[in-house]
Amino acid sequence: MDKAESWLEKTLHYRFHDTDLFHSALTHRSAQGRNNERLEFLGDAVLGFVISEALFGLRPGAPEGDLSKLRASLVKDTSLASLATGLGLGEHLILGSGERKTGGHRRESILADALEALFGAVYLDSGFDTAKAVIETVFAERLDDLPEAGDLRDPKTRLQEWLQARKLSLPDYELVSASGRAHEQTFVVTCTVDALSQTTEGESTSRRRAEQQAARRMLARLDGQPS
């Protein structure tokens, strides 16, 4: 734990009074001992409040719907996992042998849960104000560079609206291939806009994500097209 404690102090300028809390925050349910599921539950609530308060202050004129979209974009698993990876959290996770062998320290859901558990542990260890300061440190860059709420719509929705605004037919998504074992498949999907004779391709671990990627690439290609 000495290595993990040094990492935390260097990265987030925090040292636990109760090292058992820190150990629990880093422990995935696949490992023996008390795991981080309860701390993740608590940390999720603390995180939601801190981000809500920050957005309320940063966007004083924004309606509730826009604030909700912004909060969801900041605290979703992909965002949390990206932040956890940037912090180097995965290197300090305590995993069962099976998870270690399959690269659990890089798994999105495990990283996201561990980061929330860490927030929950800091809250229990030092109170709300300290937990808030740690969360604001982790999210500082993203809070400084908030997108417009309208930009948070998923690529498929934005592409559909782009085409409808120009009275063009909706795109067609076609599954090209699905390869790999049942829980480790890779999907390749095309997005075709017949009216513009344009086709793009997306590839991901789920068909939905592959479609979103193909739509995102189509939007990038259509950027700059006349209205």
Evaluate whether 171 touches 191 at the Cβ level (below 8 Å): yes
Burial-class residue 81 by CB neighbours within 10 Å (0-12, 13-18, 19+): buried
Give Dmax (Cα) for the chain: 64
Distance CA 126, CA 124 (A): 6
- Whether the Cβ atoms of residue 105 and residue 94 lie closer than 8 Å to each other: no
Residues in Cβ contact with 93 at an 8 Å cutoff, skipping those fewer than 6 apart: 26, 27, 28, 104, 105, 110, 111, 114
Contacts of 84 (CB under 8 A, 6+ apart): 90, 111, 112, 114, 115
Q: Which residues are catalytic?
A: 44, 116
